Chains A and B, each alone.
Chain A
Amino acid sequence: MSRRLQPVAAILLVAALIGVPLWLVVATAGKSRAEAVDPNLSPPGQWHLFDNLRQVWTEADVPAAFFGSLLIVVPTVAGVLILGSMAAWILARRTSRLTAALYALGISGIILPPAVVTVVLLLRQLGLAGTALGMIGVYLGIYLSTVIFFVTGFVRTIPAALEEAARIDGAGPVDVFRRIVLPLLRPVLATATILICLYVWNDVFYAFFVVGGRLDTLPLNLFRVASAGLYLNNWHLIFAYVILMSLPLIVVFAVAQRKIISGITGGAVK
């Protein structure tokens, strides 16, 4: 494509592909109820964006759902990164038939769908049904595969000589892992963090089965607000909620953008 046409094409395409849906969200979230009943692309006669955000914040229990989401996302991400890299380190450094089989089992979860119905039964038997702990366990079970896959590949690119130096100085495996390996994993862990955050923060499907009705998370709450709201035609509140819920991730992404993008692209394609 010619160099003069390309910028025009890029701007027009992004405006159509992203600008239109984004404008719909902001404009609808800024409308009064009467104006928003039939959602369209016209601008609001008068902006009620902050009124609507405030209404959603108080009436839809956003603080409770926000707390519920944090309560689940933070331990899940910490757990999946630490336990996943511990396992990945060993799987990358030891080459035996046993570790090869364990690796295959470990990454199978990337492809195979989790058993959402019977996990509910299992959690009941463990006394974890409807609890944050049960939800965290289920997410760990689902996303450990992703971390093991990414980190094992990454460890193989780190020269083993770096670990040897510490071992000669008398460091045990725990020290070597904590002081040498873990810091070296920083780039791949940054990528894994954002990916898992993205999946868990936005998940509604697994949350519905495990904690639906007992504990509120932002997506579960949006689902409930929208299910009731579509019936009542409260589009202005639905999109105000969408803005509130998307903002934290967008802020995180904006801050860590360059590192995240290089991490994702560097890790996925060899």
Chain B
Amino acid sequence: MTTALGTLTKARALPVAAPGTITRRTHPLWFLLPAYAILLIFFVLPTVYQFAYAFTDWSGFKASINPVGVDNFVQLASDGTLFRALRITVVYAVLVAIFQNLFGFGLAVLLERDTVINRIARTFLMLPVLMSALAVGYIFQALLKHTGALADTTWTIVVVSLIHAWKWMGLAMLIYLAGLKTVPEDVVEAARIDGASPWRAFWAVRVPLLAPAITFNVATALLGSMNGFDVVQATTGGGPARTTELLNIFIYRTFGQGLFAQATTMSLVLFLLVALLAFPVIVLLRRREEIL
């Protein structure tokens, strides 16, 4: 009896003693293989290439590719293109993040109750999200053609970031709506009973609980618009006087001219910029979430 029990427990204990075996058999690593092979070939490898080809004279005008050191960086920095495109891209991303969240938050608060009108309104607000950014750009080019809003060298960048925010505000609204729904009704009720005004109950109880939605919305708007192209290309094409030329518009234009190495250099700069910005942004937002 005891021996039988002994063998039984021993047999049962075996997988626990060797924790790798059970997962190896039930969740085999080869399931990862196809996805990671594709990631490696089509995502990691081209990214690694950037670190090599940014330092060459690769172009559409000759067959050979030769190393040229930091010439591409020096040239882009000395004619001012590098820092202008960097500045424009960062300004654009920050403005988009601000506008998109203000619009999304405002709409979520306005359309929060589940009435018929609100539901229809929300559906209409999803239309720009579904439309191609290129189409959105053409619509606003037509709307603003005669107002001069797309011809000012200082303010056009603000206008295009407003358009980008307009396209995505529906999605931001949905995520804020979901955040507002997660706040339990009785918590708000308790605040009311404690004598809080509706205004104070809203800002002190419900808004702080939106932290995860804010994290998601700010991070995706900021990092997503770093990679912006369509909206601006369709509204201004980078003008007037190259004041809305985002990094991706520069890359697109330079590639079209056959200057592949220069386009690669800028693409590498964009990669480094996003990588550098992403980590502090995410850490900062996560920490804010914990405090609140």
Contact = CB atoms under 8 A, between A and B. Distances in A.
Interface of A: 1, 6-7, 9-11, 13-14, 17-22, 24-25, 28, 38-39, 83-84, 86-87, 89-91, 93-94, 102, 105-106, 109, 111-122, 126, 137-138, 140-142, 144-145, 148, 163, 167, 173, 176-177, 198, 201-202, 204-205, 208-209, 219, 222-223, 226, 230, 235, 238-239, 242, 245-246, 249-250, 253, 257, 261, 264-266, 268-270
B30 to A, nearest CB: 9
Nearest to B122: A261
A205 to B, nearest CB: 5
Contacts of A20: 143
Interface string B223-243: 100110110001000000000
A219 B132 contact: yes
- Tell which of A105, A111, A219, A266 has the most Cβ of chain B within 10 Å: A111
Given A116-B251, A177-B31, A105 B128 contact: no
Interface string B22-33: 010111110110
B45 A122 contact: yes
Contacts of B77: none
A141 B121 contact: no
B111 interface: yes
- Tell which of A14, A113, A117, A226 has the most Cβ of chain B within 10 Å: A117
A269 B44 CA distance: 28
A34 B140 CA distance: 20
B187 interface: no
A150 to B, nearest CB: 12
Interface stretch (B5-13, B94-102, B269-277): B269-277
Contacts of A266: 178
Nearest to B131: A246
Q: Say whether chain A's binding surface is mostly helix, strand, loop, or mixed.
A: helix
Contacts of A222: 132, 134-135
Given A24-B139, A83-B38, A245-B135, A18 B251 contact: no
B178 A148 contact: no
Nearest to B216: A268
Interface string B46-63: 110110010000100000
B111 A167 contact: no
Interface string B204-231: 0000000011001000000100110110
B110 A144 contact: no
A141 B48 CA distance: 14
Contacts of A142: 42-43
Contacts of A239: 138-139, 142
B221 to A, nearest CB: 13
6 contacts: A90-B29, A121-B260, A138-B42, A204-B229, A226-B138, A269-B178
Contacts of B45: 122
Contacts of B53: 117-118, 121
B254 to A, nearest CB: 9
Nearest to A36: B142
Contacts of B263: 117
A264 to B, nearest CB: 6
A113 B135 contact: no
Interface stretch (B112-120, B152-160, B188-196): B112-120
A242 B113 contact: no
B143 A24 contact: yes
Given A18-B125, A113-B274, A205 B42 contact: no
Nearest to A260: B126
A9 B107 CA distance: 11
A18 B124 contact: yes
Given A117-B263, A117-B267, A118-B49, A173 B31 contact: yes
Given A18-B125, A109-B39, A137-B38, A115 B267 contact: yes
A242 B38 contact: no
B213 A242 contact: no
Contact of A137 (B41, B132, B138, B166): B41
Contacts of B130: 198, 246, 249-250, 253
B97 to A, nearest CB: 14
A262 to B, nearest CB: 9
